[in-house]
Amino acid sequence: MEIPFTKAHGARNDFLLTWIDEAPAADLPAAATAICDRHTGVGADGWLLVSRLDTPPEGADLRIRLFNPDGGEVEMSGNGTRCAAAFALANGYNGSEIRILTGGGAKHLRLLEQTGKAYNFEMNMGQPRVHPGEERCALTIGDDIYDCTLLWVGNPQCAVFVENFDFDWRTVGAAIERHPRFPNRTNVSFVKAADGLNIDVLFYERGVGETMSSGTGSTGAAVAAILRGFTGRSLTVRTPAGPLEFRWPANDSDVMMNGPAEIVATGKYLL
């Protein structure tokens, strides 16, 4: 069968987007693995299935489901949700604000700027959750102990604080992702404090591996850095793909993120 897709990226975290009624009726995990493969498929960090909501729950306009390249369905992606908003605007949605229902809750996006098929959005990432005792905890990987903050920002995050990136962080990230502490696996970010306004972050995402950027991973890293006093409540997360801006006004408020989304291709995948 032919699967129509649009390819978009949010800070080089790339996704394929398909309307749900144009996707296969069965075995979505296998289809996700095939279409996301970078050698035999189109290639992406994830596949988003988008539904229009005629009777919107919670005031949402769209619902999205996200499948990783390993076929696993996960709660959400911050960068992917911005891509879904860009997809909606490119397909006739009118308005500068849009609410999207994800597996991590409803997200409200506001269009800040548009140039062609490149968009910039403000997006609420929800209220992060940090369980008692997990603001600062230690994980043992081999002979090394890593200083971590465990939290939920719509999906599970483990922010690992490091002094530099001069170690095999990909291998460590893979080990932490599947650590016994996380029966459903976790996303991993490696965080280096730069100054009171910036942090540098690398990402190893659950079911994906290394990514150039991550909206939820950046959110987790930003919240962890604020809780530890490395930054104020407004900061820039510097990713390998470029910066994402965050504000967390208070512990009981939503985290707000500003970031890009750009549509780069459309086509059909032959499954």
pLDDT digits (tens, 9 = 90+) for 3-14: 999 999 999 999
- By DSSP bridging, strand 156-161 and strand 187-193 are parallel
Q: Is the per-residue pLDDT at 93 higher than 60?
A: yes
- What is the rounded distance in angstroms from the CA atom of residue 56 to the CA atom of residue 100? 10
Q: What is the chain's mean pLDDT, rounded?
A: 96
User: Does residue 131 contact residue 118 with C-beta atoms inside 8 Å?
Assistant: no
Output DSSP code: residue 61: S
C-alpha dist (Å) from residue 116 to 51, 120, 263: 24, 11, 9
Burial 51-90 (b: 16+ CB within 10 A, else e): eeeeeeeeebbbbbbbbbbebbebbbbbbbbbbbbbbbbe
Q: What is the CATH number of domain 137-253?
A: 3.10.310.10
Residues of each domain in the chain carrying CATH 3.10.310.10: 2-123+259-270, 137-253
- Residue 21 exposed, middle or buried by CB count within 10 Å (0-12, 13-18, 19+): exposed
- What is the tens place of the pLDDT at every residue in 14-65? 999 999 999 999 999 999 999 999 999 999 999 999 999 876 556 789 999 9
- What is the tens place of the pLDDT at every residue in 194-247? 999 999 999 999 999 999 999 999 999 999 999 999 999 999 999 999 999 999
Give residue 136's pLDDT.
95
Mean pLDDT across 181-185: 95
Q: What is the CATH number of domain 2-123+259-270?
A: 3.10.310.10
Global confidence as pTM: 0.92
Q: Which of 246, 264, 267, 263 is nearest to 255 (CA)?
A: 246
Chain centroid to CA 40? 24
Residue 26, phi then psi, degrees to nearest 5: -140, 160
Give residue 59's pLDDT.
75
- What is the rounded distance in angstroms from the CA atom of residue 225 to the CA atom of residue 174? 22
Q: Which of 46, 53, 56, 60 is nearest to 17 (CA)?
A: 46
- The confidence band for 131, taking pLDDT boundaries of 50, 70 and 90, is confident
Name the strand (E) or helix (H) holding 165: none
